[in-house]
Amino acid sequence: MSEHQFSGRFTFEELTKEETPLRILQSTMHEMGSNGLTNLTTKNISQRANLSTGIIHHYFDTKDNLVYAAYVYLVKDLHQCSLEVGRTENDPKKRLLAMIRMNFSATHISQEARNIWPQFWAHAAYDARIERLLRAYYSRCHSNLTYNFRQLISDPQNAKMAANMLLASIHGVWFFHRFNAIPSEPEQAIAMLVAQLESLLATYQEH
């Protein structure tokens, strides 16, 4: 995802390979998770990172870029996890199970991420750049799910439908777990989604 540019000088990959911009990004995520977008300021981020606002502007230029970088960080983590699953696991069903689990990893149910993800979804409704990022994320997720279902379900349309339903279920269960504490534990949420996967396979493999 090297198209993500900051200050016209840095790509996201370059930023996250250096200690200082990574510290800024982590401080931004802590601030977003604790105080939300409304109360997010470059000054607060600089205080948390123990860096000057000038250094922050050097790397990210604007507060909007800092927020965008936080969203990219979460998306890229899931993307990297998907790539690792593809490299290390040959069984398509096990890959699907791993893709369910990665959404409930420590990174994505952390105190910061559990508040940033809902902000990401809401922010995409009125910011074109963030909407493009979210659409790209969903497209990639759907493509990966469809690829694996296609190896388990003979009919291509049924495989695509199963991918649609599992993707919707993953985010629906994540959201319900976040705001309703039902299921109360991540493992319970994962178990619900595993049951959904089994149901989808039982339904579509029969046809």
Q: Dihedral sign for Cα 88, 156, 205, 162, please.
A: positive
DSSP for 59-103 reads HH-SHHHHHHHHHHHHHHHHHHHHHHHHHH---HHHHHHHHHHHT
Supply the pTM of this predicted model.
0.91
Please give the residue range of the domain that contains residue 159.
5-204
At 7-47, the pLDDT tens digits run 667 888 888 888 999 999 999 999 999 999 999 999 999 99
- Total domains in the chain come to 1
* Helix-then-strand count for the chain, H and E: 10, 2
Per the CB < 8 A criterion, the answer to whether 163 and 145 are in contact is: yes
SS3 143: helix
Q: What is the CATH number of the domain that holds 186?
A: 1.10.357.10
Where the chain has pLDDT below 70, the residues are 1-3, 7-8, 206-207
